[in-house]
Amino acid sequence: MTKGKLWQPLEDELAHWRAAGMRAQLWLRDDDAVRPSPALDRLIGLAGQFDVPVALAIIPSRTGPDLVRRLDRARHIHPVIHGWSHANHAPPSEKKQELGPHRARDIVLGELSMGLARLSDLHGERLVPMLVPPWNRIDPSLLDDLPALGFAGLSAFGHKLASKPKLPVVNTHIDIIDSHAGNACRDHGMLVNSLVTELAQARALGGRAVGILSHHLVSDDDAFRFLRELFTAAAQSGVVRWRSPGEILTV
């Protein structure tokens, strides 16, 4: 297994899954993709080395054919929809939101429809119609309109929603980047302990998937080292299955 005591809590938790005859389910979502970059190449290469599928949340209004060409050589990368333009429309007194209640519903829903159509045109059948709201925030009153637009699922962050929507919600639970600390990678020990807590809860509930969130554009060596060590620990355990976004919507 991975070296040192830092990863021992994860190894111990996965031993409980093994003893119960269960397989832990993880999935990885990476946000804010627009175009090819060295950071994206690094993520694609690392995930490919360990056969880890990635839900790549792409900003529709800011992307184009160059990203399509790059992803054609990375079949383990699965495009999903990251709002429309990742523009904040909330006032300074509120947390940032693109899909909040600050504009007319028709405008917001129209942008989401355009985003889905644009990425469908670019990526074709590879696109998974999962909506990832920028900043993981969305006006709850919009949720029941999403299926009619063509969305098959929603992914934000955490466990709570203000309402129960008519489409599957598959959130991420652990963000490896601390946006309040200059986009540094969070402490690895804290991340491991958070993952163990999420996995223990998932095991008690019968095996729901646990989502990991990354942002390749702001990931430094420390963040990529954490992902490598996580992928290594998962592979060596023999009881972890990494799920694609398409799979996660149907589990």
Per-residue pLDDT of 72-100, as tens digits, reads: 999 999 999 999 999 999 999 999 999 99
Question: Is the model's pLDDT at 2 over the cut of 90?
Answer: no
Share of the chain above pLDDT 70, in %: 97
The pLDDT, as a whole number, for residue 163 is 61
Integer CA distances (angstroms), 211 to 111, 171, 174, 205, 236, in order? 26, 6, 7, 15, 19
Q: Do residues 75 and 54 lie in contact, with contact meaning Cβ atoms separated by under 8 Å?
A: no
Residue 221 has phi, psi (to 5 degrees) of -60, -35
Number of domains in the chain: 1
Question: Is the model's pLDDT at 1 over the cut of 70?
Answer: no
Residue 2 lies in a domain: no
- Give the separation between CA 244 and CA 143, rounded to whole angstroms: 23
CATH number at residue 219: 3.20.20.370
Residue 170 lies in a domain: yes
Residue 77 lies in a domain: yes
The pLDDT, as a whole number, for residue 165 is 78
Residue 118 lies in a domain: yes
- Give the separation between CA 57 and CA 47, rounded to whole angstroms: 15
Q: Which residue has the higher pLDDT, 163 or 172?
A: 172
Residue 235 lies in a domain: yes
Question: Is the model's pLDDT at 3 over the cut of 60?
Answer: no
Q: Which residue has the higher pLDDT, 5 or 231?
A: 231
Residue 101 lies in a domain: yes
The pLDDT, as a whole number, for residue 4 is 67
Which structural domain range is residue 102 located in? 8-250
- Give the separation between CA 47 and CA 234, rounded to whole angstroms: 12
- Give the separation between CA 77 and CA 120, rounded to whole angstroms: 15
The pLDDT, as a whole number, for residue 138 is 96
Residue 1 lies in a domain: no
Instruction: Name the average pLDDT for the chain.
Output: 95
The pLDDT, as a whole number, for residue 62 is 98
Residue type, 17: W
The pLDDT, as a whole number, for residue 181 is 85
pLDDT tens, position by position, 179-209? 888 899 999 999 999 999 999 999 999 999 9
pLDDT tens, position by position, 122-158? 999 999 999 999 999 999 999 999 999 999 999 999 9
Confidence of residue 166 (pLDDT cuts 50, 70, 90): confident
